[in-house]
Amino acid sequence: MSAAALDALDVRVEALGARRRRSQLSRYGVYFLVIVAVLWSIEAIVVSDTDWKRILTGSVLTSMAKFLEIDWQLIPQLWEPAVETILMATLATLAGLVLSIPVAWLGASNITPLGKFSYGIGRFLMTMSRSVHEIVWGLIFVSAVGLGTLAGVLAMAVRSIGFISKTIAEAIEDVDPKPIEAIRAAGGTKFQILYFAILPQIIPVFVGNMIFEWDINIRRSTIMGLVGAGGLGLLLFRQMAMSNYGGIAVVILAVLALIIFGEVASHHARRAVI
């Protein structure tokens, strides 16, 4: 190997070493910034913004002990709000499904009717639904239709659109194209392609996500009462307004029981359907 080739090789080696050193410095710099951010967060939130005097004097334990004074007289009043909560979750999931189908049709890139234009509209609707919290949707619908369970159902239905439509659209985009090509080659219409080639492939994902969203809506419905939308959440809000710690504990236990019921029901539903 000539001297010029050796010199060029040395230059490349030195450049590679310098590039590696810069990469290491950049990586260590990122690590340093992350550590500084974590320490600053701990100091700002845990150290400076915490009432350590209240914690160390035992006031927290005293407050927690109040929740152990169970208000047994409230238990007979739980049945109607609990049933109302389950009905709210079920209706919201069904309404969210109906509203999600056209959004998923627009947001699936392989079947969207107007190309990038309708695809962008579908994805925007999915993002908007997921970006706004269900309590905010609840406040919007309470102001529109008044207090009651209808506002909670509408809020959870709109909130469900983002998840259901996104998962359906992504399942449609991931289908096997061979059945689609076969039906198209045989002269099938777009509806026949959708019904015979796409729908059978997405049913397991569709059903599984519907059950999962119903399970999530049970949790959501328990807090929708905080904005006057009925169910156990409304009963919880009333107990909080009266500072009835025992009543708050009873409602929390009822919510926990309802969530466990939802977990068991959704588990068996998945095994039976999928």
CB atoms within 10 A of CB 244: 17
Residues contacting 170, CB < 8 A, separation 6+: 108
For the whole model, what pTM was predicted?
Answer: 0.72
pLDDT reported for residue 202: 85
> Tell me: domain 72-273, CATH 3.40.1160.10, correct?
no
- Give the residue extent of every domain in the chain: 3-50, 72-273
- Structure-block tokens of residue 257: 């029981």
| Alpha carbon distances (Å) from 27 to 20, 40, 118, 132, 231 | 10, 20, 42, 35, 51
Q: For position 274, what pLDDT does the model report?
A: 59
d(CA 272, CA 242): 44
Other Cβ atoms closer than 10 A to 3: 7
pLDDT, tens only, 167-191: 888 888 888 888 888 888 888 787 7
pLDDT in tens, the chain (274 residues): 565 555 555 666 666 666 777 777 888 888 899 999 998 888 877 777 777 676 667 666 777 777 778 888 888 888 888 888 888 888 999 999 899 989 988 988 888 888 889 899 999 999 998 888 888 888 888 888 877 788 888 989 999 998 899 988 888 888 888 888 888 888 878 778 888 888 888 887 888 788 888 888 888 887 777 776 677 888 888 888 888 888 888 888 888 888 888 778 777 776 776 5
pLDDT digit string (tens) for 62-71? 777 777 788 8
Residue 59 CB neighbour total at 10 angstroms: 12
